[in-house]
Amino acid sequence: MAKKGTIDDRKSQRLPVQLLVDYRSQNGHYLFDFCRDLGTGGVFIETKSPLATGEEVSLTFTIPDSKETLNATGKVIWVQKEVPEKELTAGMGVQFDEFTAEQRTLLQDFIRRYHGEDFGQEQGA
């Protein structure tokens, strides 16, 4: 069960989208890379230098069609190594820990606009 104020990734769907994500690791380094997919529960960040599984990050990204900037905290929950023969790029899956209610609504609205009202139902959510 998700704790209060978090988003349960298992109930969310991802949509393919490319946007720049600024993020800061626990050690204070500021980084930026492109995300490959985005959902209400998390994001896949394409990077050749992924952070360690379990590392917490602060993320900032702009929703493309609204120009709204969202800030979130998250945790690296998996790391993908590059596998060219399977067309898999290196990167990391980050699960969002917390958004403000307003930012969560902005992200959900973007996903609905991009994929339609029944996106979650069609994907079996």
| pLDDT tens string 38-86 | 988 999 999 999 999 999 999 999 987 778 899 999 999 999 998 889 8
Measure the CA–CA gap between 36 and 43, rounded to whole angstroms: 8
Between 10-14, 42-46, 83-87, 107-111, the lowest mean confidence (pLDDT) is in 10-14
For tokens 């709204």, name the residue. Answer: 68
Instruction: Specify the CATH number of the domain 12-60+73-115.
Output: 2.40.10.220
Question: DSSP secondary-structure letter at 41?
Answer: S
Q: Is the dihedral of CA 18, 33, 35, 66 positive or negative?
A: negative
Measure the CA–CA gap between 96 and 56, rounded to whole angstroms: 10
pLDDT band at residue 12 using 50, 70 and 90 as cut-offs: low
- Calculate the average pLDDT of the chain: 81
